[in-house]
Amino acid sequence: MLIDIENIIHKRTNRRLPKWLIRVAEKAIHQTEINQIISSGEHLTPAQFIKHALKELNIKYKILESAKIPLDDRYIFVANHPFGGADGLMITDALLGRFSDVGTIVNDMLMHIEPLKPLWIPINKYGNQHSLHSQTYHAALDSQSKQILTFPAGFCSRITKGEVADTEWHNRFIKDAKRYHRKIVPVYVDGTLSRRFYNIYRVRRALGIRLNVELLLLADELFRQRGRCFRIVFGSPLDADLIEGNSPTEKCRTVREIAYSLKTTMPN
């Protein structure tokens, strides 16, 4: 099934937008280009489709491991979120190169990309969590074979005090790691989006606009990454009970600091 933004908006809001606005939205999300990628790879498995999408987007990555990750354990991989799209594709692809069963926690809007649905664990970031989503989420965490990837910030990185970094991470992965007896692996992805994206964010904040308008630019930002090669570092597995901190929030901050410290292991 191809992407139809008009139908998606109607189903989620029960409203019909003017045709001119739909055309603007279609162009903003690169609907034609995305549908071409979907059409040309619809016969592929999810793992093959990710490689196909990265190839079509001409996005490459290089893995720099700072520690060995045993294949016989269960993990929650937690990463910074600089891109809001490309990072998820790259890390998921890297994990599929080592593990046969991988699930990535994503905004449920991405469930409209049919070839990748088997890899996604959907959550609703802009409303009440659907009971079916909740069941899928907990079943994935409870799985004895599935490795989990999540972006604890929930949103892609923003610019604060002159630096691009994630907003505060949510501590749910700490609680999940304890509940489902999983190790935590911090991951760092090197990169930024365009100045335009961060400038719009700053203007929105300055004007007191709460609506996340820059979200509409993420598809275009994905296509702007064409021709680039990104570096990714995987840290050492951590036992949630041994992470520094007296509460899930404090432990979460410690893991975030560890993830960002992995940048220092990258060669200049």
- How many other C-beta atoms are found inside a 10 Å radius of the C-beta of residue 78? 26
The residues that bridge with 230 in the sheet, in sequence order, are 61
pLDDT tens for residues 113-131?
A: 999 999 999 998 655 556 7
- What pLDDT sits at residue 125? 66
Q: Give CA–CA dist 55/57, Å, rounded.
A: 5
- pTM, two decimal places: 0.93
238 neighbors 58 (Cβ within 8 angstroms): no
Amino acid at 231: R
- What pLDDT sits at residue 242? 96
Between 86-96 and 46-57, two packed helices, what is the crossing angle to 10 degrees?
A: 130
- What pLDDT sits at residue 72? 93
Q: What is the CA radius of gyration of the chain?
A: 18
**How would DSSP label each residue in 36-101?**
HHHHHTTTS-HHHHHHHHHHHHT-EEEEEESS---TTS-EEEEE--SSSSHHHHHHHHHHHTT-S-
- The tokens describing 32, both together, are 């034609």
Q: Give CA–CA dist 2/114, Å, rounded.
A: 8
CATH of domain 59-265: 3.40.1130.10
Domain boundaries, the chain: 59-265
- Taking the chain (268 residues) in runs of 10, the rounded mean pLDDT of each run is 86 84 91 95 96 97 86 97 95 97 93 93 72 89 98 92 92 98 98 92 88 85 94 97 97 98 89
Going by C-alpha positions, the residue among 76, 69, 235, 71 that lies closest to residue 140 is 76
- What pLDDT sits at residue 126? 56
Going by C-alpha positions, the residue among 102, 101, 89, 100 that lies closest to residue 55 is 89
